[in-house]
Amino acid sequence: MLPYKTIDEASAALGRPLTALETLWFNYSATKSDYFIYCHNILIILLIFTCAPALYVLLEHLSSLADNNKIQKYKIQPKVKFSLSEKFRCYRDVMRMFILVVGPLQLLSHSSVKMIGIRTSLPLPSLGEIAAQLLVYFMIEDYTGYWLHRFLHCNKWVYEKIHRVHHEYTAPIGHAAPYVHGAEVLLDGIPSFLGPAMAPGHMITFWLWIALRQIEAIETHSGYDFPWTPTKWIPFYGGAEYHDYHHYVGVQSQSNFASVFTYCDYIYGTDKVFLQLVLFLYVEFLF
């Protein structure tokens, strides 16, 4: 809840008039508790888990109805196809995990978010501040997530009991991005939370971080490598083809552990098998 009763009080406290966005934020959040504002996370995650993968399902379905290969030619594993019922089953399982684990975890974690200093107050952060913090969050999550993911594969017991669930989809689909064991939900939350804990910012930045990270994970698991995706312009970005190989190899995979970028795999030599395969396919294509 903001400590101002009117916009004039807020402007006086800031020493300047509120921007248009700050006015909107004031009108929406001034009388709402911080806990209520924080719980918007649940709605954001629910919408992304539902809508982002559904776009790929719709695109694939429309392509099949039109009987053309304009979309299918970008499918990474074209021989593997899932019916609508199989995709819905995956979504149903994700929603079950959302209700039992993800949602309650969000409800219970507000005190931690407040403790590290994520604020709902004015002023709102600048675009530069948001961009800088998001970059930090992605870099921290990517590095720590790399080692967590590698641990999930290198420890046989952990893989068999926990991470194997996620690898049930050797040809991943968008809805399979959050398809994990309940314990892995808790483990994956650690790298995602470290960035905001180390460089806390505004709740809006926190929402954007949650949204972008989940959208990125869904794109990475989409099973499609579209040449026009904006992520193609991001240096060292892995993408769908990069992560799809990790799922294709499955239980034996000791490669492509990175969640977003590829620099950790390059530095620690866990991309060599993948790069050799890419080189082999490239040479075969040329000759």
Determine contact, residues 96/178, Cβ cutoff 8 Å: no
> Distance between CA 163 and CA 184 in Å, rounded?
7
pTM for the model stands at 0.92
Helix axes 84-97, 40-65, angle to 10 degrees: 170
Maximum alpha-carbon separation in the chain: 73
Cis peptide before 123 (omega within 30 of 0): yes
Tell me the backbone φ, ψ of residue 31, rounded to 5 degrees. -105, 5
> Distance between CA 168 and CA 243 in Å, rounded?
14
Q: Which residues contact 23 (CB under 8 A, 6 or more apart)?
A: 7
Determine contact, residues 259/240, Cβ cutoff 8 Å: no
Q: Domain spans of the chain?
A: 1-31, 42-285
Can you give the pLDDT of all 287 residues of the chain as single tens digits? 688 889 999 999 999 999 999 999 999 999 999 999 999 999 999 999 999 999 999 888 877 766 667 788 899 998 888 988 999 999 999 999 999 999 999 999 999 999 999 999 999 999 999 999 999 999 999 999 999 999 999 888 999 999 999 999 999 999 999 999 999 999 999 999 999 999 999 999 999 999 999 999 999 999 999 988 888 899 999 999 999 989 988 666 678 998 899 999 999 999 888 877 666 554 554 55
How far the first Cα of the chain sits from its last, in Å, is: 66
- Backbone torsion region of residue 236, taken as left when φ is above 0, otherwise alpha when ψ lies between -120 and 50, otherwise beta: left
- Strands of 1-58 (E only): list them: none
For residue 235, the one-letter residue type is: P
> Distance between CA 240 and CA 102 in Å, rounded?
24
* Predicted local distance difference test score (pLDDT) of residue 284: 53
> Distance between CA 14 and CA 180 in Å, rounded?
45
* Predicted local distance difference test score (pLDDT) of residue 282: 47
Each residue's pLDDT tens digit, 126-150: 999 999 999 999 999 999 999 999 9
> Distance between CA 150 and CA 255 in Å, rounded?
9
Determine contact, residues 196/144, Cβ cutoff 8 Å: no
- The residue written with tokens 């040479």 in the block is 283
Q: Which residues pair with 75 in a beta bridge?
A: 224
Determine contact, residues 60/78, Cβ cutoff 8 Å: no
